[in-house]
Chains A and B, each alone.
Chain A
Amino acid sequence: MSIIENFDVYAPRLVDQEEFYAAGHRACGGCGEALAIRLMCKAMGRDTIVTNATGCMEVTACMYPTTAWNLPWIHVAFPNSASVGAGVESALKALRRKGKIADRYVQTVSIGGDGGTVDIGLQALSGAMERGHDMLYVCFDNEAYMNTGIQRSGATPFGASTTTAPAGDESFGKKAWKKNVTEIILAHNVPYVATACVSYPFDFMNKVKKAREIKGPCYIHCMAPCPTGWRLPMGDCIKIGRLAVETGVCPLYEVENGKYKITVDMLEPLRPVIDYLKPQGRFRHLTPEKIEEIQARVIMECNKIKNKVDSLQSWDELG
């Protein structure tokens, strides 16, 4: 895909060397989410305020009296990162207008895990997106409530075994398909939504930078593999993220003013989904029939996106 030879070798030099999310936090070895946050902060830069939902990233990074955050950071509770962000954004607006803080733009970024975003925090997120706050929300999706011990969430994929949707003689794990929150947020008519994966750092950081420049509410749904919860060796986090993209499980795209664009080309044909499922302990119980079912669904979901890319025009063109 890259047009420059050895782009991946040279590209890190393009990234800001300053660390806003310091080493020494207490996340598990090989944590995809911690890495994704570090990249997000680099893309955002100094003039950023982060609001954080309760979850892994909150408990591991800010144990009193220490903090891994070298950006202003506020955590209040589990379901309300977006509403806290709405409050921060509004305060910045008012205080700047009244001359009570420095007269320059500071971006509010609200972050949460999949539980804090697609389940318990969905209402707060919907409210903030609907009201049009000038903020970015990033969901770091590791596909279960990892902080509390791998319970299923609305973002847990079909067939995954979790501690509240376990596989057993009478169960194949989670029976429902993953909730598509990216599309739900897009239905709020926000100017920018995107999917991302920590294994594609430049794609993710470019999207964060783009969202930073766009006025109004933006949403990025970033897959952040969790070796602990996915039952993987801790060194395989990046590899499994790449497999998620190559198999079409996690298609990378963005939607700007209603216009869909695939940002990392889908393989043609897609890599078989079994390559992604097999290394992960959470899928080890799946029968060939169930894997077939997942394969069919993945192809269909990718086709849905391709169909939108081909057929949907930008809202600017429609109006």
Chain B
Amino acid sequence: MKPRIRSLALLPSLAIVGIGLVLPGLLMLAYSFLRYVPGRITDFTLSIENYLRLFGDFFYLGVVVRTLQLGVIVTVLSLLLAYPVAYYLARTTSRFKGVLTYLVFLPMMVGIVVRAYGWIVILGREGLLNTGLQSLGVVDEPVRLLYSMHAVVLALVEVLLPFMIMPILSSLEKIDRHVEEAARAAGATPMQAFLRVTLPLSFPGVVSGSLLVFSLSITAYALPALLGGTKVKLIAALAYDAMLVGYNWPFGSAIGIFMGLVSGTVVYLYLRTTGRRGVAR
């Protein structure tokens, strides 16, 4: 292929990323420095009032802190649940290994709205958990489980688990099995061999999975909106409200740029740890 044709082959994709990502990103950056005027969005006067408002108000700072807390909790819980799955998939000799790996991906394909409804069926007033608890006599009245931070955490962990399992699985698969066997032969119990040998060697996967899950959980909007009710306000909800309820696009853009900086830093670290940049790896 001649160089000219090569550029031509890249053109459609670059145009899409240019129109859909680069240009919108720059536009958002520009909006974040414009003054908000009720009714007509902006009068195109430069100002930093949007950032001052975001960082100068305890309400907004509280939302930022709560969002970051949620990110940490979701990341830790995902890690605890994902590690055994990744370890099992990496070490199993079962012929169902392919199917089991497939099943990790399957929920991602279904989309989050369907799974949010699944959690409503499980946690709702007449849902699985309440019916179960009542029939066991643990509680007399339905307990309020939905529309709380707990519900949001439960659902986010479920949705983000594949993003934790995959990096850990791929780093476990790189470890030579004989290393663990050598530790066992030298007298270590299975748990010692795991804690002293396997776990440290799988650390890169743990780090990249954690960064990915953290970045995705602090920017979640749909699940908190459906399962958190009005009580759980996270940073993405602030941005959504500014953009589509208040039509304060400059302020919404400032929140967006802030979220972009935080998640961009996390993703940069993620790419550094995995060292995977190329398209074909």
Chains A and B form a bound pair: no
CB within 8 Å of A: which residues of B?
A: none
Interface residues of A (CB under 8 A from B): none
